[in-house]
Amino acid sequence: MTIPKIQGDVNKFIRHHDLYLNFVTQQTSRGESIEADGEGTLLTRGIRRFGQAHNRFQLYNENGEVYVGPYLTSQDLQRTLAQFMANGVGKPASRWDAELGVLVFLIHELNQQGFVVTGGVQETQHIWQSTNDRWVAHEVLEANGEDWLAKMSDQTDFLRPSDLPKVLLTTTGDYYAVRDQHGSVVIDNVPLQKLVSVLLGLRLGIPAWALTSLLLVPRVSTESFADSQLVITRNQCSVPLEVQTLADFDAVAALPILHDRQYQTYQYQFDTPHEQLGDPMTASVFGQMTSFIYHGMPLRDLTADENLTAWLADLASSAGMQISLRQQRQVHQARVEALIVTDGIINKLQLKENDEQRGEIETVYDVYAGDADDPIMYDLEFDELVTALLVVGQMQGILKFPN
């Protein structure tokens, strides 16, 4: 594919539009093909060697919103900047209509099985830190669903108001729940980006408890977890709204927060001073995670992982595509001060080094078309992979669910 050339002063263009660039180096393992009847699964975190390295770019605006990304190859950066300079700066990456359309499709499928999806908004009101997550887990268990924090003073030996940056710790946003035909919640507190995987799992007949442990319990390395702190947020909520259409997602985001004890909830989060380790958890998910940590109880259901993997691998194969799994870790990051362009092609960088370089090990997915050497999609998170495959499957009319 021909790479469009950059016409004009790209650095002036970047400054004028308040755009920013990072240059990132990732250590990566070799890609492993995922087959429907193979040994590996999409969510199994094995032990892998990082024998390769590749470079990526992050293009973002002054609000930290990324474009296209989260990562771009040098060729895709060239294409993106050339397109922006020719046609104007596009919108930051977001959930576009085709993706939300897949969610609506899955919701309608689940409605036929007696499930209802509701959405609501939460806003963080208070933040605590705990130095003893085992003590917190005991208090949560003993409370048996009651508001245990309401009975606590603001400061105890193991619990105190947080001194970490609130902007890092807030769990404000829209969350979704799946309810059965009796109105009882079967899965709660699902962020929008994970909703597609949760709904797909339910449609495939995977039990809610298995999906919760597989998809909603944070995947945290021993190194990061050892240095983390338990953060608890008290959130005020909106009334839940049933979701049936694309417009309902906008309606959920606009719901008013109700400042009433009846609409209070708590979320649990393991954090470092620099990052959140996974998504916030409900009390029940937090209990599952601590049960595993302290008592060695199984944390994830392998059968659910195998079933989800087999279905997605079959879908990819039916669409003429192949899924490849890698693990990678950021080892270097620098700010791009200027791009040096020769004959319309970016060939050199002026960089400002960043001291914080090494990142968390993450599992990512690449998608190949046929036997092509280069992926058509790369560096996808699991939920992005699920969404992308469902969009392709819907466009090609090849989605097949169990009866």
Burial classification of residue 208, based on how many CB atoms lie within 10 Å of its CB (0-12 exposed, 13-18 middle, 19 or more buried): middle
pLDDT of residue 139 exceeding 80, the answer is no
E strands, 110-263, where?
Answer: 116-130, 159-161, 173-179, 185-191, 229-237, 241-242
Task: Return the pLDDT at 167.
Answer: 53
Residue closest to 261 by CA, chosen among 137, 146, 129, 118: 146
pLDDT in tens, 18-43: 999 999 999 999 999 999 888 889 98
Mean pLDDT of the chain: 86
What number is the average pLDDT over the span 42-53? 84
Confidence of residue 355 (pLDDT cuts 50, 70, 90): low
Confidence of residue 69 (pLDDT cuts 50, 70, 90): confident
Task: Return the pLDDT at 284.
Answer: 81
pLDDT in tens, 178-224: 999 888 999 999 999 899 999 999 999 999 988 988 898 877 666 76
Task: Return the pLDDT at 46.
Answer: 73
Judged by average pLDDT, the poorest of 101-115, 137-151, 312-326, 343-357 is 137-151
- The half-sphere exposure of 403 on its side-chain side, counting CA atoms within 13 A, is 0
Between CA 128 and CA 359 the distance in angstroms is: 26
Task: Return the pLDDT at 340.
Answer: 94
Task: Return the pLDDT at 351.
Answer: 93
pLDDT of residue 337 exceeding 60, the answer is yes
Tell me the whole-structure pTM to 2 decimals.
Answer: 0.88
Residue 369 identity (one-letter amino acid): A
- Identify whether the C-beta of residue 68 lies closer than 8 Å to the C-beta of residue 93: yes
Confidence of residue 300 (pLDDT cuts 50, 70, 90): low
E strands, 212-320, where?
Answer: 229-237, 241-242, 264-271
Between CA 21 and CA 334 the distance in angstroms is: 9
- The half-sphere exposure of 98 on its side-chain side, counting CA atoms within 13 A, is 11
